[in-house]
Amino acid sequence: MIQQYANPARFNRLATTLMPWFAWPAGILIVAGLYFALFNSPPDYQQGDTVRIMYVHVPAAWMALFVYTSMAISSAVGLIWKHPLAHLSAQAAAPIGACFTFVCLLTGSLWGKPMWGTWWVWDARLTSVLILFFLYLGFMALQNAFDDPRRGERSAAILAIIGFINVPIIKFSVDWWNTLHQPASVVKMSGPAIHSSMLIPLFMMGVGFTLYFGALLLLRMKTLMLARRARGMSMAQLHQQAAE
């Protein structure tokens, strides 16, 4: 019991110290990335200025997968080693991942309309990302579906682990199936197929989004821990009142 208490308390101090180290670089990189993305990068020779949507769409897609992967790992750690912070981390990450996935779908749609002539198409990449979005929503719903929060977090953890199969499907969907979505241009065996004038702002946004996720994850974990503490204290007070 003391061990379990010690970890969250130490984590809380560590999170408070670390948060600015994520938040400030995130802000600086995103602002600088936006400057390059909107002012200082060339229009695409085929897609014109719509290519600028890439600088938010692609990092959001990376984050959608990255956050889900981190959630599945935390869930597995929570189930196997019962580390007190693991389920908390998955629970804190889920809404952030859902937001990134939503943004990815929305900006993709806004890019698809002018370039493909359609807002949406049921091809493998788009459909598998939509499934990812529903996995996030399902995770959050399942977590709150039980009176006993422990059962909720265990059930949600199992969903997160099973749903992880979708992550490689999303990554390779553009190779395995004939999709309208273009294949990978950055993360591939032969190296990136994008000029550095586009690659640099893309990476700035990608790293910026990752650090934004880090700062927000720490903040949300702190909140969840405070909420747990509040629950425990109000329960103790109720018991005390009942005893008096």
Partner 1 sequence: MQMISDFMAMGGYGGFIWTAYGAVAFVLGGLLIISLRENRATAAEVAALEANSPRRRNKTDKEDDAT
CA distance 100 to 106: 10
In the chain, the N- to C-terminal Cα span, in Å, equals: 27
Pick between residue 38 and residue 162 the one whose CB is nearest to partner 1.
38
Pick between residue 197 and residue 234 the one whose CB is nearest to partner 1.
234
Whether 99 contacts 34, CB under 8 Å: no
Q: How far is CA 129 from the centre of its chain?
A: 13
Half-sphere exposure of 184 (CA within 13 A, CB side): 15
CB of 240 to partner 1, least distance (A): 7
Pick between residue 7 and residue 162 the one whose CB is nearest to partner 1.
7
Residues found near partner 1 in the complex (CB under 8 A): 1-2, 4-5, 8-9, 34, 38-39, 43, 48-50, 52-53, 56-57, 60, 95-96, 99, 102-103, 106-107, 110-111, 113-114, 212, 216, 219-220, 222-223, 225-237, 240
CB of 176 to partner 1, least distance (A): 28
Pick between residue 3 and residue 178 the one whose CB is nearest to partner 1.
3
Residues in the chain: 244
CB of 143 to partner 1, least distance (A): 16
CB of 40 to partner 1, least distance (A): 12
Pick between residue 126 and residue 216 the one whose CB is nearest to partner 1.
216
Half-sphere exposure of 208 (CA within 13 A, CB side): 19
Cβ neighbours of residue 62 under 8 Å, at least 6 residues apart?
Answer: 206, 209
At 141 the three-state DSSP class reads helix
Whether 104 contacts 60, CB under 8 Å: yes
CB of 158 to partner 1, least distance (A): 24
CB of 19 to partner 1, least distance (A): 11
